[in-house]
Structure formats: C-alpha cells, structure tokens
C-alpha cells in the first residue's frame, strides 16, 4: 500500500495531504473491539523493556518495548521488516514472545 511503499526519501509526495512528512511510523493501534485508536503515528516515550532482541532494527525493538509496556493487557503487535518477514509479539508469563512468519 501507499503508506509502506518505499521511495527515495520515504516521505509523502508534496501533492499528498501529508506532503513532505515521513511515511514511517506505527500503522494502527486498535482496541480489543478492533476500533482504531491511532494510525500512522510515531510512538514516543515508550520505556525500554528489560529484555534483549539482538540483530533486529528499530521497528522490532520498538514493538518489543510496546508489548512490554502493555504486558498487563490483552495485546499483540505485528511488525514487518523490509526483508518481508513478519513477527507477531505478545506478552506471556512475564516475557515477550515472538512468532515469525512471512507474507
């Protein structure tokens, strides 16, 4: 889709409503009923999890931190890397579990 499509600058084209702004960010935050709370936003201020996930980038690290911050709720995060792999992260027994798949 247009949001995740990479361009030379990874910014919205100038003629777009969000012209010149970066396209990266969190795609959607949904509640347990599937209602969108936030979309296409940059999540800031998430405290780091006391966990390590070596050899992953910022998207995956931020996703892990978000799941850790939401560990006392029913939550899951889906994150896709540029390589095409997809991870589903969720809290489980005081840890963050990740399931890897490909689209």
Residues 3 and 19 in one domain: yes
Same-domain check for residues 68 and 98:
yes
Count of domains observed in the chain: 2
**CA 83 – CA 62 distance, rounded (Å):** 17
Q: What angle do CA 18, 24, 30 make, to 5 degrees?
A: 90
Is residue 69's pLDDT more than 90? yes
User: Over the Cα atoms of the chain, what is R_g?
Assistant: 15
User: 29 and 14, same structural domain?
Assistant: yes
Provide the pLDDT confidence category of residue 19 given band limits of 50, 70 and 90: confident
Residues 95 and 61 in one domain: yes
* pLDDT tens sequence across 23-39: 766 667 788 888 888 77
60 with 97, same domain: the answer is: yes
38 shares a domain with 15: yes
Q: How confident is the model at residue 3 (pLDDT cuts 50, 70, 90)?
A: low
Residues 4 and 36 occupy one common structural domain: yes
Same domain, 66 and 34: no
Q: What is the pLDDT of residue 28?
A: 73
**Shared domain check, 95 and 53:** yes
How is residue 11 annotated by DSSP?
B
Say if pTM beats, i.e. exceeds, 0.85: no
For residue 32, report the phi and psi dihedrals to the nearest 5 degrees.
-70, -15
- Residue 75 and residue 59 share a domain: yes
Range of the domain at 32: 1-42
Higher-confidence residue of 26 and 40: namely 40
Give the span between the Cα atoms of 31 and 8, in whole angstroms.
34
| CB 48 within 8 Å of CB 41 | no
Q: Residue 1 pLDDT more than 70?
A: no
CB 91 within 8 A of CB 70: yes
CB distance 17 to 31 below 8 Å: no
């Amino acid at each position: 889709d247009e949001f995740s499509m990479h361009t030379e600058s990874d910014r919205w084209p100038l003629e777009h409503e969000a012209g010149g702004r970066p396209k990266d960010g969190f795609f959607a935050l949904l509640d347990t009923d599937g209602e969108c709370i936030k979309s296409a936003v940059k999540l800031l201020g998430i405290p780091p999890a006391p966990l390590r996930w070596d050899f992953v980038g910022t998207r995956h690290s931020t996703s892990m931190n978000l799941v850790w911050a939401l560990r006392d709720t029913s939550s899951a995060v889906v994150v896709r890397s540029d390589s095409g792999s997809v991870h589903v992260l969720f809290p489980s027994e005081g840890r963050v579990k990740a399931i890897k798949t490909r689209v």
